[in-house]
Amino acid sequence: MATTAEFDSTTRWERSPKIGLRPEPFGALAYHFDTRRLVFLKSNKLVDLVDGLADHESADAAIEAIIEPTDERSRSAHVKALASLAEAGVIEPVAIL
């Protein structure tokens, strides 16, 4: 699992195949099948971001696709959230073959 210091938003990320998402009114619960750990995704926008990561060339591009381009505060919050999700094993870097 990546630590916050290792999270690089300029690279491509995806939701781990070991994660199941259960939709909730606040966003979703992420369940890690190996560790049995539950992680809360606290907004529907964050759920959309996690689900759409693999469709973009980088985490930065995925964030830019869901927020206003001038909203630096929201961008920073989403980068921080993704770093936390990477540390929890919810997302992982896309393997380059």
The CATH fold assigned to 4-93 is Outer Surface Protein A; domain 3 (3.90.930)
Structure confidence by residue, pLDDT tens digits, 78-91: 999 999 999 999 99
Confidence (pLDDT) at 20: 96
Q: Given a cut of 50, is residue 18 above it in pLDDT?
A: yes
Q: pLDDT, tens digit, for every residue of 56-81?
A: 999 999 999 998 877 889 999 999 99
The domain locations on the chain are 4-93
pLDDT band at 97 (very low <50, low <70, confident <90, very high): low
Going by C-alpha positions, the residue among 18, 17, 24 that lies closest to residue 54 is: 17
Q: What is the DSSP string of 17-70?
A: TTEEEEEETTEEEEEETTT--EEEE-SHHHHHHHHHGGGSSSHHHHHHHHS-TT
